[in-house]
Each structure stands twice: as structure tokens, then as C-alpha cells.
Amino acid sequence: APPSILENIKDGTESGRDENDVEINWEGLGFNLTPTDYMFVMKCAKGEKFSKGSLIRYGNIELSPSAGILNYGQGIFEGLKAYRTEDDRILLFRPEENALRMKIGADRLCMPSPSVEQFVDAVKQTVLANKRWVPPLGKGTLYLRPLLMGTGAALGVAPSTEYTFLIYCSPVGIYHKVQGAVNIKVEDKFHRAISGTGGTGGIKSVTNYAPTYTSITEAKANGFSDVLFLDSATGKNIEEASACNVFLVKENVIFTPEIDGTILPGITRKSIIDIATDLGYKVNQRSISVEEMMSADEMFCTGTAVVVNSVASVTYKETRAEYKTGPETLSEKLRKILVGIQTGCVEDKKSWTLQV
């Protein structure tokens, strides 16, 4: 790491691991937390701009019991990955897109946000300080989790007086238990977010995730890997799964719900649309009814954590639809190109990757 980064490292309240105390076992990584060495922290007061952050040892943070994030959910997060290439370089994938999305979420929740440059620089510093945790190619990736939260103390319902931008990271492997054949349950009681442009479904608000837990817990108890939510206005159209966007393929045409303020504008979603379009596929972004979904040939989900994963079946009430899976699917073709670009194996014609 460049000396500037090491100079920046300070001790946190609770120290992380010692550089040499663990033999890293890269086999069988799932989407679980492995504590790493350092995290990046930057604070600013309400009405001010973020200026300078620093790396500290990974560990617990101290928060007031009346912090805005704890009491009123004033917080958003991001997710992006660092990929190790065959020749041992480390790449990021479109990190400025995460920075821009964080800014939109921050504006919606009345928070200051780091500039794109500050965000990307902080991500790079975090990766470099935790370089030994970037798994070898083919074993996994280093997942980075930027958080932006109101950390000032207040009792009233009002924007926090202090904000913290923090990035921690963890090596991860596959997200869903099965890669290549996910079984999904359609949730017909609860909704993920309020439909339409007035809600917060379209930002990565921390409050969008816990409301999916009842549905996920029930679905998992019944053998499903994920849950698909329907729009709250009509209950007829598909939106997204608990942590990923969804796509359908019918007669070689691709469909995905449009970005309407309710679903998350996924960076993987957007990249897959571009890759498919470049390959000559037509991609329709529009409302998709449950019936239409049930009659598709193929279905897959996309997300930073999920990457691209084929859906084997969808169950809606008593009806189950099955889809094509396996190496011949369009989803597999798109996944290979995407992962190829991310890991430097496929030419990056769009300058999506950034070397750390």
C-alpha cells in the first residue's frame, strides 16, 4: 500500500485482527461476515461537507442511544465488490455508480453525502488496507459495505446533527445457497416498499430490508431461497426479491420491471441490460404481471451480492412455474460476460472497472 494510506491508519476502540494471526481459508465462502483488518470512517456535522476521513482498525463503534440511525432509521448503505484478477491486480466495478446512488439516497433522507471522488477514494483505501482479504480469483470477492448514517444524538424527529460515513468489508462467496437454480416464493401478504415515486423503495435505505424478514423466514422454512415482492398499489405486478432485481426471458426477449421509484436501481441490473443490448437482445423495462412471469421461459435475478443467478421455479399461492436452467441459459451467458469484465478476463470496452 502507498505510504499515505499506512500513515492514515489509527487504532480504533477495539482492535481488529493481527495481520499474521490467521491462516485464511478461502474454501466454501458464503455471504457471511468475516471480520477484516481496517475500516474507513469520516464524520461531518449537519450543514457541513465531509472533508477528511481515516482508516482505523476494524471493530465496534460507539453510538449514542439517541442516534438518528438507531431511533428513526436515518441511514442508507451501499454494496460493491473488489475482484482479484488472474495476474493479481485488484479491480472495482463501477464504484462511482454506488457513489451517485448514495447521494440520491442521502438527499432523500436529508443527509450530507461524500462526493463521488471522496467515496471512490475511501473505497480504494479500504481495499488496499484489507488487501490480504481479497480472495483469489474463483474463490470469492471482497464485499465492501459503505454506510451513511445520522449519528448525532436527538430525541425529536429531525435530521441528525452529525453524520458518519463508514466502509467496512468482508470476503464473500455465493449469496444464495444454490447457484444456478433458485426457488422463489411470491409474497402475497406483505410488501417491500410503497409503490410509486413518493416512497423510499428506490433508495438503499436501511429501513427497506428488515420488513422482508418475516417473508424470508417463512419462505426459507418452506424450502425456498428467496422471496419476490409485488407492487403495493395493485398486488398484481412483480417488483424485486429481498436483495436483488429480477429479469425474465420469453422467446429471446428480455423483460425487467422498470425503475419507478419503488424498486432499487441496481448497478448489476443496469450493466446486464447494457451487456444484453450490446449482444443484440431487446430489453423491455416495464410493468410485468405475475401471470406474465409465470409464462416466461427463463428467469434470473441480479445484484452485487447475488451477481446473476438463474431461477428454477416461482411459486405464487398454489401455482408453481418452472424455468429453464443450466449452461445454455441466457442468464448464464450474461453472467459469464459480466464476471469476465469484473475480473479482467473479458475486455472492458466500457471502462467499467477501476484498478485499485
Binding site for ligand COI (CB under 6 A): 79, 209, 243, 303-305
Please tell me the distance from the alpha carbon of residue 248 to that of residue 234, in angstroms, as a whole number.
Answer: 20
Question: Quick one: 39 or 56, whose CB is closer to ligand COI?
Answer: 39
Question: Quick one: 209 or 281, whose CB is closer to ligand COI?
Answer: 209
User: What is the closest distance, in whole angstroms, from the C-beta atom of residue 305 to ligand COI in the complex?
Assistant: 3
Element (H, E) at 55: strand 54-57
User: What is the closest distance, in whole angstroms, from the C-beta atom of residue 63 to ligand COI in the complex?
Assistant: 21
Three cell numbers written together for 252? 429471446
The one-letter code for the residue type at 324 is K
Cα 172 to Cα 16, 79, 247, 318, 343: the distances in Å are 18, 12, 24, 35, 15
User: What is the closest distance, in whole angstroms, from the C-beta atom of residue 135 to ligand COI in the complex?
Assistant: 17
User: What is the closest distance, in whole angstroms, from the C-beta atom of residue 209 to ligand COI in the complex?
Assistant: 6
Question: Quick one: 172 or 275, whose CB is closer to ligand COI?
Answer: 172
Instruction: Tell which residue, 93, 106, 102, 6, has the closest CA to residue 56.
Output: 6
User: What is the closest distance, in whole angstroms, from the C-beta atom of residue 93 to ligand COI in the complex?
Assistant: 11
Please tell me the distance from the alpha carbon of residue 269 to that of residue 248, in angstroms, as a whole number.
Answer: 12
Question: Quick one: 101 or 185, whose CB is closer to ligand COI?
Answer: 101
Do 227 and 190 touch, CB atoms closer than 8 A?
A: no
204 counts as catalytic:
yes
Question: Quick one: 224 or 316, whose CB is closer to ligand COI?
Answer: 224
**Residue 41: partners with Cβ closer than 8 Å, 6 or more residues away:** 53, 54, 55, 56, 61, 164, 165, 166
| Nearest residue relative to ligand COI (C-beta) | 79
Please tell me the distance from the alpha carbon of residue 215 to that of residue 209, in angstroms, as a whole number.
Answer: 11
Give me the phi and psi of 68, to 5 degrees please. Answer: -55, -40
Catalytic residue among 81, 139, 204, 270: 204
- Which are the catalytic amino acids? 204
